[in-house]
Structure 1
């Protein structure tokens, strides 16, 4: 559009320049023709015998064109307007090169003239020829040229707009396949490593890029599969000897050393169990079934109640009267809830209660009254194997990472904030789902020591 606007301005300017050039060219041709028509008569006088064309220009009634022929030192030899000829004495002197000038306020009507002065050799000797034409006489030519330029300018602008619209449409249409590839690439994650980019509809110049990107995805997928298989196999191989070791430690008589060994064995069992959960989440994306969140929360609380009683803590459950259906995989969601509850119980002081609240919008919040989580650590706690300073319990930094992975796989989120009065509150939000089943309504359930 900028180029079109510049072109329009240039066209209007050029139309004015063209009109001036045509006027000057016409004056020059008349001066040259007058030079050829000058002749000396047998009696020695100088005469200018106008051609039919020049006679119509200079001698017609109301003519606004005039000429003056002067001999060097002899005064005026011929003129088309004797009444105006003396007034031309003040005009610029003639040279061998044409000299153009604008004369304002000339004649009785005070018109503006475009004048040409030329010094040339003729049959009567050297002469100065002055040819002038009223600017008003060229009004029609200027008007025609300006109207033409104006009409062309609109056509140029409309053509530029049409070209711009077609260009934008063509570019957007041509980039649609690339945009689709970009969306597909952005959706690839750890759980969708089998997805590959399609080159359908792409320009041939981009096919090699798509092929190279797919090869990178192939290598990454093979690496992730090897890593997941190693983690799962290692965890499975460790479960049997750890189970045997735990059983043998349980048969030994109590002593401080045996108690320490039992704690170490419990810590290793927990780590192996979490590694298996990670491997299961990494290898198999959770299905998107409709599950009832109240029932899952109650099941997790019941399963952890004996463990919490042994640690002199309480677990309370609050839920709405109506079922809360969410979209997800029951085992994965239950694992996430168990990890959150275990984490809350671990960090809660003795004789305090961990509150599990099921919310109607498809969320579960777990609140404790422990030391809380510093603001700067609230994002890092969901990283694998990260444990903050002063971390308690036998964990390996995988529990909250599993919760975050479950939330991401289900299109949900997990957030942490401070509990009123001190402590931390974790909220697991999942996608709501419609379901035809119902579960018995439940209110508050509590497990005390």
Structure 2
């Protein structure tokens, strides 16, 4: 019996490079291109060949007609004796290259009087129509093209040219084309195989990356992402997809780990409360409040993980006015601050347009204001500033953030003990996730350096902007 593993190994066993190329799409594409190039070369040759044959044939016929017209004029002026002398003179002046003309002057019975054609063939017609065939010229059989004329007093005249040079030229052209065809075909096939092999190697590198990720190596990335061609773009898209997948997995792992760690204490507390409650309504109500608090904790963790997974994803973002969003959120926290004799002031005189999620940015502003108001002393002040950039600043005159906490304050469940109300430590972690999703950064510094109560200034601005 054949196992599934052996079948899978049989399917994935590497084959020889030529066989893989021939079986690949790129190999078939290369073969198609080579075939098309060969067909195009053949078409060009046929056009050139028949054009050359036509032009050379017309040139030969024009030479015969011009030569015949001159001889007819000589006969009409000088008679048979003058025509004979002219034929002898022309035959004596043979060209240095190529072949000379072919003439025959015969009497009314067809007996040769002058010329280099052996005799008057029976195939010659006297109506000046074109004649072609192989005839004996100076003891040698030559292919001829010419015309036969019936002259006054029934003398016969044949004027022709040998087609040997034309045939040889066409034969050389066929030889050149045949050699060129095979050279073109060979180079085309070779170039196609080289190109197909190069493309296959790049595709196989991408496939190896995908297989490694499939097997669990989620940190692997496609090579060649710095290339400017289509493969570079494909590698960048694959890497962006893998980054997104890794963030999703990391977010899921973080939620699982942090939830398991942070929920242990609330669950133990709820269990103890319920065990001690009996029929005491106050203890039961306390347990219900603890369950609700636990639900809020889980929802906050899920929200942070969901936003972290959306980093780099611009879907769901829309144009919004950050200043208007700040104006809609501020009054609620102004009322909360007013209950403790503090105040919240907004400085957002002009619209600040940006692409973003209204819900997420609204909660970002709310979390920063809530964090500031939570630790305000009596008579304290929170100031919210919105400027072009976009830049959003929330500063207060509370206890501030110690220097050694300015990095850790954005971690999940990070809590600074200032004697104020104790939360879950997720508010600033949510802020950090939202600014990253929108391509922004958030920093914290002293609002009043050197003061006994330095306060805190949280600055949200585009990533890469100078501090």
Larger helix fraction of residues: 2
Name the structure, 1 or 2, with higher relative contact order (CA <8 Å, separation 6+). Answer: 1
- TM-score over 0.5 for the alignment? no
TM norm structure 1: 0.41
